[in-house]
Amino acid sequence: MTTESSFDVYRLPEEYDEIRAAVRDVCDARVAPNAAETDETSEFPKASYDALRSADFHAPHIPVEYGGAGADALATAIVIEEVARACASSSLIPAVNKLGTMPLLLAGSDELKQRYLPQVARGEGMFSYCLSEPEAGSDAASMTTRAVRDGDHYVLNGVKRWITNAGVSEYYTVFAVTDPTARSRGISAFVVEKSDSGVSFGAPEKKLGIKGSPTREVYFDNVRIPADRMIGEPGTGFVTAMRTLDHTRVTIAAQAVGIAQGALDYARGYIRERKQFGKPIAEFQGIQFMLADMGMKLEAARQMTYVAAGKSERGDADLTYFGAAAKCFASDAAMEITTDAVQLLGGYGYTRDYPVERMMRDAKITQIYEGTNQVQRIVMARELLKQVG
């Protein structure tokens, strides 16, 4: 027997619809107009950052006690989704702020949280995440960046690669080896500031997509930082890194959903207007089948993402599986949907005069970063094999 209330359980509360509408208004007016130029110039979209900051959407996940908006995981995912619908590069502003600060929220001392989170909430500095290295990508435990204790300080030496928003962010969560004999149990996490002596950056990578979000190497040359900037206890950094990714893979899923939605929206409008053989191409069944598949895959990806966001907020035991599943499915769907959007526009879709080719290029990275989709499948399989019965 069902009741009216049982159906209400599966419907998002109205406040999430209000959040979506508010973000969309800001993005339509002040973010989307910058997207093409941001892609063309490969420059960080400061105007979009200012727009998001003025509306408190640049780091919505920061708790209220640290001056933030206090958005839960689902609300944050919706913010990222809507920004990505307008501009994928700009969506990495709230996404990477969450990625960089999540280790503090999970394992940082109260002092560290009070020192850094309010600055992020006020928009005074962004936070990036430094895990990958030239020889330690999927195998993050093989990192070689070292942090050596020296009295009341640690001295860091090494290099991190593929760091999103490097050079623009003021703060960096850096993972480094403190005990080289213990492999993953010898890795610790630290907060490093851009202004610390010995911190420098490589040239921006020349990328296929998300060109407005700078990706650079970060170099640490005898960077001396106070020991109280360690996040959590010594040797807990790798666990913190993996726990962080469990949560933030949801944000990549949301980004993928947003990119796919933007492509679907544009393609749907185009096929209604484009005429061939005397009628809009939307009236042809072959086109309709493509559109139907795009919509179906998009909504499935969105539902998986929202379920994973709920599990992230609650800290459910199966978050590892659902975070990996949402990220993997949504990013694969986004790649398919954006590619189909290009196909629906025909030759026009292949030109930079129309936004879908940019969306297709932007979608590709969602299958790669924060763990390739091959790694996500390994994660999912391991979680499934742990289950009994």
Would the pLDDT of 2 be above 60? no
Q: Are 142 and 135 in contact (CB under 8 A)?
A: yes
Q: What is the DSSP letter of 68?
A: S
Tell me the mean pLDDT in the region 146-169.
Answer: 98
- pLDDT for res 103: 98
- pLDDT for res 287: 98
| Residue 78 exposure: Cα atoms within 13 Å on the Cβ side | 22
Average pLDDT along the chain:
96
Residue 342's identity, in one-letter code, is V
How many Å apart are CA 267 and CA 293, to the nearest integer? 13
Q: Out of 4-18, 235-249, 336-350, pick the least confident.
A: 4-18
How many Å apart are CA 176 and CA 158, to the nearest integer? 8
pTM of the predicted structure, to 2 decimals: 0.97
Question: Is 336 a residue of the active site?
Answer: no
Specify the pairing of strand 187-193 against strand 171-177.
Answer: antiparallel
| Cα angle value 98/90/131 (rounded, 5°) | 40
Catalytic residue selected from 81, 82, 133, 370: 370
Tell me the mean pLDDT in the region 154-162.
Answer: 98
- Helices 14-30 and 32-41 pack at an angle, to 10 degrees, of 50
- pLDDT for res 49: 98
- pLDDT for res 1: 46
pLDDT band at 388 (very low <50, low <70, confident <90, very high): confident
- pLDDT for res 10: 78
Beta bridge partners of 176: 188
Would the pLDDT of 8 be above 90? no
pLDDT band at 14 (very low <50, low <70, confident <90, very high): very high
| Cα angle value 351/372/267 (rounded, 5°) | 30
| Higher-confidence position of 11 and 105 | 105
- pLDDT for res 5: 53
Domains of the chain: 9-121 (1.10.540.10), 127-235 (2.40.110.10), 238-386 (1.20.140.10)
- pLDDT for res 294: 98
The fraction of the chain above a pLDDT of 70, given in percent, is 97
Q: What is the DSSP letter of 136?
A: B
Beta bridge partners of 280: 275
Q: Are 255 and 91 in contact (CB under 8 A)?
A: yes
Would the pLDDT of 7 be above 80? no
